[in-house]
Structure formats: C-alpha cells, structure tokens
Amino acid sequence: MSTDSAATPPAPAAARPAARGRIIAVTSGKGGVGKTFVSANLAAALARRGERVLVLDADLGLANLDVVLNLFPKITLHDVFTGKAQLEDAILPAPGGFSVLLAGSGLVEYSRLTVEVREKLLEVIDKVAPRYDRIILDTGAGISDVVLYAVSLADDVLVVATPEPTSLTDAYATIKVLATQQQRHAVRLVVNQTSRLGEGRVIRGQLQQVIDRYVTPQMQDPGVPFKLDLLGEIPTDTAVREAVQKRRLLLESLPGCPAAKGISAVADKLMS
C-alpha cells in the first residue's frame, strides 16, 4: 500500500447529489463509551421506523461490530479493498432489519490513512449511499487520521460520551478538532450511561460553554456560533450488559427497558 497520506480531503457530503442517503458518523473521544453499541441499536431503531439503513464499520483496524451483532463474516471490507471480493458480497443482513458492511480486525495496514485506504473507502461509500436512506459510519475512537477522514465523509456527526470526566475531556477534544479542522458548526451529542434524568442536558450545557469560550474564537468564521445539539441520553441499565454478553441487540432482546427507550428517543429526534 502507498504510504503517502497528503491529499486534499473530499468535498463535504452535503455538497453531493441529493439522491444519496444521509450519512452519519458515530464517533467518540475515547473507547469504551458504547459507540458501537449505540450505532447498532440506533440502526435497528431507524429500521423499525421504515428506513433502509446500512452500518459501515469504519474502525478499519480494530473492528468489533461483528462481535456486537454475533456475525461471522466470510467477506469483509478488506476483501473489497484488495479486489478479492465484490462489494455486494460483503453487505450482510443484520439482526434488527438493517444491513452491515464489516471490517476486519487487527489489520495493521488500516491503522493509518494512506492514499489507497482513503480512495477505497470513498469509493465504497459512493457506491452504497444511493441504495440506503441512512448510512451509519461506526468510526474508531479518538482523532487519528483514519477516524477524521471517515468523519469528513459524513453529513452529520454524532459524538457518544459518558458522564465520566475522562470521556467528557476527550469528547471536547474531538469536537474541537472537528470545529477547527473540518469547520463544522454543528455536532450531535448522545450521553450514554447517565445516572439521572436530565444529566445529558447538564453535560451538553457544560460542553457548550467551554466550546463557546475556547473553540469558537479559533474557527475561520467565529461569527457563526457552534451548536452542540443533544440528541438524547441513554440511562445506565443492567439490560445493556446482558445484551452485549449475549451478543444481541438491546432493541431485539429487551425493547421495553430504559436504555432501549433512550435509543428509540434518539432515533425519533434524528428523524425529526
């Protein structure tokens, strides 16, 4: 693979043809906050509402969407990228009524952004976007060049965070990079593992204050305010751990539990 990573990023997704499905990147500042869990269950919630949804595992080097969904793919994005398989053969039906495009795990060659990785990922997204109403990019955590490139392809960005100070610090760092480097003026927030009703609103308010003070002045157009939109909060729920251990979607196993209701509320707001 080529190792030249210097190239101009693609035009913003919003500037592309209107016939494409809406692309949303689900990302996080740190691992372990439930990002892939949210991606998969949000896809199921959207599918229940009649949307054609594809989840693309954009965590190219450390993929685990297959584990969450208890799938054992014979063909992955790696095979598509290397020309060993056709894209159509790599798209699989998932529990919950949506489709998935899974990546391989432990592939060192995808741990950094190369010209080839960039071009192949963009090519795949361009091919699948017209076929679905919504494409969810389940990115890796952090602000590596691979993660930031995947996020740059999205119309909307959803940052998943928990109330833990380390998670919030890393969420802020991620939002700062997206605002100053990608010139995004809006990011959606989902606060996972909340302990009380309204905690998500408090956290959103705290983050917005810090963003207004330290991030907005660094943007190319500081006159346009940056908006952190709270998409929803998902309460701490023992049912989540049970579903993850059983490798089942929460919306399939216990759709009436508090966390599942929280995810459903996120889907409703996303569609509004």
In this prediction, residues 64-84 reach a mean pLDDT of 91
Where in the chain are the domains?
Answer: 17-271
**Which ranges in the chain belong to alpha helices (H)?**
35-48, 65-68, 77-81, 87-90, 115-128, 145-152, 165-181, 199-210, 238-245, 250-253, 258-271
Superfamily (CATH) of domain 17-271: P-loop containing nucleotide triphosphate hydrolases (3.40.50.300)
Compute the Cα dihedral for 233, 39, 70, 68 and give only its sign.
negative
Each residue's pLDDT tens digit, 165-218: 999 999 999 999 999 999 999 999 999 999 999 999 999 999 999 999 999 999
Q: Please determine, for residue 3, whether its predicted confidence score (pLDDT) is greater than 80.
A: no
Stated pTM of the model = 0.90
Read off the pLDDT of each residue in 6-16 and give the average, rounded to a whole number: 44
